[in-house]
């Protein structure tokens, strides 16, 4: 059965040495699409090379909030050029107000300018928000609903915010956190999402879910998406196959400009 991993980082050095194996395992167990997000200018070319080789990988190019300190003077032109070279989305972009993250004003400025680019080009966006919900909502209200849609990846917000984000044309994506049975907050959020806006992701190589057989090297791969699908399905009291189909349909609709039938 085809699956849709809505957010991962295949160009990460922890995955690149064994990428052909990772993609083979994915295809062998049913295939589908993997949305791989860039994080800084230095990984865009590697991502381009990976996405150019297979229709399975859908690329997004962007500056992650952790890396706003690494920008070259021509980063905006560079981003525009990558977005024009291949069908792609904008991401991973966002706001991270946890303690060790870079300057908040700089993060906001870089986030807003990338969102504006996505709006102008009507491209889907992959968004990272940590402890920055008020600022994000202020920016969304100023920007208006996203023209090309988007998703909030590894959603950690409260269930009350979900209807607002849906009105701004956002999907909500859940990662390995749903596999922790003690995480009640994420369970409530899963139930608050409209069926047509629900997505699942691995965020590979990070955010390893709780696996039935622990993984020695702690490196997450897209093959673990099924464990996340199982956890979301059980919280929604649905069969896993229904959830997998639903999130595949939602993902391919959101990223339809990037997909060619597989």
Binding mask 162-201 for Zn ion (x = CB under 5 A): ----------------------------------------
| Integer Cα distance of 108 and 9 in angstroms | 23
Compare residues 36 and 246 and give the one whose CB is closer to Zn ion: 36
Binding mask 194-213 for Zn ion (x = CB under 5 A): ---------x----------
SS3 (DSSP) at 95 = strand
Compare residues 219 and 236 and give the one whose CB is closer to Zn ion: 219
Q: Are 111 and 94 in contact (CB under 8 A)?
A: yes
| Integer Cα distance of 82 and 136 in angstroms | 25
Question: Angle 121-122-123 (CA atoms, 0-180°, nearest 5)?
Answer: 90
**What is the closest distance, in whole angstroms, from the C-beta atom of residue 203 to Zn ion in the complex?**
5
Compare residues 130 and 185 and give the one whose CB is closer to Zn ion: 130
Q: Are 201 and 174 in contact (CB under 8 A)?
A: yes
Compare residues 5 and 203 and give the one whose CB is closer to Zn ion: 203
Compare residues 93 and 145 and give the one whose CB is closer to Zn ion: 93
| Integer Cα distance of 79 and 40 in angstroms | 10
**What is the closest distance, in whole angstroms, from the C-beta atom of residue 9 to Zn ion in the complex?**
6
**What is the closest distance, in whole angstroms, from the C-beta atom of residue 127 to Zn ion in the complex?**
10
Binding mask 105-144 for Zn ion (x = CB under 5 A): ----------------------------------------
Residue 90 bridge partners (DSSP): 61, 125
Tokens 């008020």 sit on residue:
134
Distances (CA, A) of 30 to 82, 170, 223, 225: 30, 27, 10, 12
Stretch of 90-98, 136-144, 156-164, 227-235 contacting Zn ion, by CB under 5 A? 90-98
Q: Are 64 and 39 in contact (CB under 8 A)?
A: yes
Compare residues 56 and 154 and give the one whose CB is closer to Zn ion: 154
Question: Both tokens of residue 188?
Answer: 């409530």
| Integer Cα distance of 244 and 235 in angstroms | 14
**What is the closest distance, in whole angstroms, from the C-beta atom of residue 62 to Zn ion in the complex?**
10
**What is the closest distance, in whole angstroms, from the C-beta atom of residue 239 to Zn ion in the complex?**
28
**What is the closest distance, in whole angstroms, from the C-beta atom of residue 242 to Zn ion in the complex?**
26
Q: Are 91 and 65 in contact (CB under 8 A)?
A: no
**What is the closest distance, in whole angstroms, from the C-beta atom of residue 152 to Zn ion in the complex?**
12
Size of the site for Zn ion (CB under 5 A): 2
Compare residues 131 and 234 and give the one whose CB is closer to Zn ion: 131
Residues that bind Zn ion (CB under 5 A): 92, 203
């Amino acid at each position: 059965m085809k699956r849709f991993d809505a957010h991962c980082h295949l160009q990460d050095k922890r995955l690149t040495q064994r990428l052909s194996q990772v993609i083979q395992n994915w295809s062998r167990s049913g295939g589908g699409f993997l949305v791989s997000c860039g994080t800084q200018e230095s990984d865009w070319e590697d991502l381009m090379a990976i996405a150019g080789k297979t229709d399975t990988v859908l690329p997004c190019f962007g500056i992650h909030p952790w890396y706003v300190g690494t920008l070259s003077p021509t980063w905006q032109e560079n981003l525009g050029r990558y977005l024009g070279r291949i069908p792609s989305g904008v991401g991973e972009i966002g706001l991270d107000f946890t303690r060790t993250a870079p300057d908040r004003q700089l993060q906001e400025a870089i986030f807003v300018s990338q969102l504006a680019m996505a709006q102008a080009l009507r491209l889907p966006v992959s968004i990272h928000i940590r402890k920055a919900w008020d600022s994000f909502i202020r920016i969304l209200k100023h920007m208006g609903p996203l023209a090309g849609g988007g998703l909030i990846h590894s959603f950690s917000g409260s269930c009350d915010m979900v209807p607002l984000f849906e009105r701004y044309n956002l999907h909500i994506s859940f990662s390995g956190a749903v596999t922790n049975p003690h995480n009640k907050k994420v369970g409530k959020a899963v139930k608050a999402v409209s069926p047509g806006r629900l997505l699942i992701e691995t965020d590979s190589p990070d955010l390893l879910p709780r696996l039935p057989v622990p993984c020695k090297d702690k490196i997450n791969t897209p093959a673990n998406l099924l464990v996340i699908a199982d956890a979301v399905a059980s919280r929604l009291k649905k069969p896993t196959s229904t959830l997998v189909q639903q999130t595949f349909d939602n993902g391919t609709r959101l990223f339809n400009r990037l997909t060619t039938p597989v």
